[in-house]
Amino acid sequence: MRWPVIALLDFVTIISFENIFYPFQNQGLSVVISWIFLLFAYVIPYEMIVSQMGLTFETQSGGLASWVRRSSNDTLGYWTSWMYWIQSVPYIVDVSNSVIVSFSWMILGDNSLGSRMSTFQFGLLTFCIILAFILLENVFKNSLEILSLIGGGAMFIMSALFILLAGYSVLHGTHMATQPFNFHAFMPNFSLKYFSTTGLLIFAMSGAELAAPYLVQMRDPKHEFPKAMWLLAIMTAILTVLGTLSLAVFFDANNIPHDFKMNGPYYAFHMLGQELGLGKILMYLFAVVQAIFMMAQLAVLLDASSRVFAGDVADKFMPRWMTKKNKNGRPIHSYMMTTGLSLFLLLLTGTLPNINTIYNWLLNINGIVSPYKTCWVFFAFVAVRWQQNKFQSDYIFIKNRIGALLVGGWCLVFTFVCATLGFIPQEAEFGTRSFDHQLLLNIITVFVLFGLGFVMPILRKHELHK
């Protein structure tokens, strides 16, 4: 595999068109400054760190968990595996919600889903989608992998198309919806809310380590893998910065619709179609692509979520019954746990007032648990550079050991702080009942998801002493 292919595969897995919408709603036009700052202070170091770690452990198939296990110990390797798996559960529910929303736009052609469906019906349909995909994964081995290729490629094309057509519209007389559109409009308001939303930006831009398993399929990983990471950083910058500026053409950053995170992409293509005289054609096209892309994401996530139960730390820390596999070689009980935890999250969402709030809350949960998982990338890097005489790599990011430790430590602390600040509810005002309710849900969710990680080794120890 050549390096541009690796970069594209990683790109469509990490970031999609909708990932630029919720930061735009949270931070307005100032998010452009946030994206640029993160690109240089976080994303480029992050992806170069992944380059070094991938080439240090290129013979290890366990990915991030193997990096941590080899650089520290088996216990921390287990915790990396657990957190890598558990952070995918809220995203599985979130993606299933997006599947429903995309089909609602295909069928209804508007944003009326919230008024036509109760939160109970929404939760039940979400659960049915997760269950259906688990059964498809289980019965037809690799049956949905083709969706990943089609959906990812189509979403990349649609994202690029939106940016290009938005630029075309401006050049042909379309006026910017965001006014004033000047230097001061881009200046961030450094408040607690601003920093509490940064975890979602990290969630949108993280995941470069997913490319590590492809190293063994590259012809010259020493030279080509770092190139793939640089290209990934450039593509991420283009989508986030130019994509946000394109949104400012059609949406007033000072007066964004309340359901922007859920329905914003459909509004965007609807407005673009109207501007170009195409009616709803682009909106319906995006809805189809979004449905395919999200179903592909769901298929990949459900498959990946089972790997922790079959990884190189599973035997020591996981009860034997958790690693039991069916005739297709898939750990059947991991799917049952995924289903159970998805149901737990859906029961929590049932306490929220409407579908839009559910959608936003699940996004915010991802902005907490996903950055906590990403912390392990930087932990492993710091551990490797701390004891660098024990490890050999064909690529070294920052040859000076102290400099490397400072950059790795910065990324680790920054990611951890942003994840922790993510507990602060973003869609409710401080002091209101809604704020207290969502804060409690955030604490309960993270406590249960991460807390279960303590239970598995205890069950395994009890099993061994029978």
CATH number at residue 366: 1.20.1740.10
Mean pLDDT on 411-424: 93
- Given a cut of 90, whether residue 300 has pLDDT beyond it is no
- Given a cut of 80, whether residue 370 has pLDDT beyond it is yes
The highest-confidence range among 113-117, 383-387, 422-426, by mean pLDDT, is 383-387
Q: What pLDDT sits at residue 255? A: 86
CA-CA distance, 272 to 280, in Å (whole number)? 9
What are 125-150's pLDDT values in tens digits? 998 988 888 777 655 555 555 666 67
CA-CA distance, 376 to 79, in Å (whole number)? 9
Identify the CA nearest to 14 among candidates 240, 194, 302. 240
Pull the structure tokens for residue 309.
């139960």
Pull the structure tokens for residue 294.
């999200």
What are 3-31's pLDDT values in tens digits? 777 777 777 767 778 888 888 888 888 88
Q: What pLDDT sits at residue 145? A: 57
Q: What pLDDT sits at residue 104? A: 93
CA-CA distance, 238 to 339, in Å (whole number)? 37
Q: What pLDDT sits at residue 198? A: 86
**Exposed (0-12), middle (13-18) or buried (19+): which is 135, by Cβ within 10 Å?**
exposed
Residue entry with tokens 């407005």: 271
What does the mean pLDDT of the chain come to? 84
- Given a cut of 90, whether residue 465 has pLDDT beyond it is no
Mean pLDDT on 54-69: 76
What are 311-362's pLDDT values in tens digits? 555 667 877 777 777 676 666 777 788 888 888 999 998 888 889 889 889 9
- Given a cut of 70, whether residue 425 has pLDDT beyond it is yes
Residues 6+ apart with CB under 8 A from 258: 356
pLDDT > 90 in the chain, percent: 18
| Residue 131 vs residues 255, 269, 372: alpha-carbon distances, Å | 38, 31, 27
- Given a cut of 80, whether residue 444 has pLDDT beyond it is yes
Q: What pLDDT sits at residue 428? A: 79
Pull the structure tokens for residue 320.
């034997």
- Contact assessment for residue 426 and residue 25, using Cβ atoms and an 8 Å cutoff: no
- Contact assessment for residue 39 and residue 278, using Cβ atoms and an 8 Å cutoff: no
Which range marks the domain in which residue 87 is found? 3-465
CA-CA distance, 251 to 178, in Å (whole number)? 6
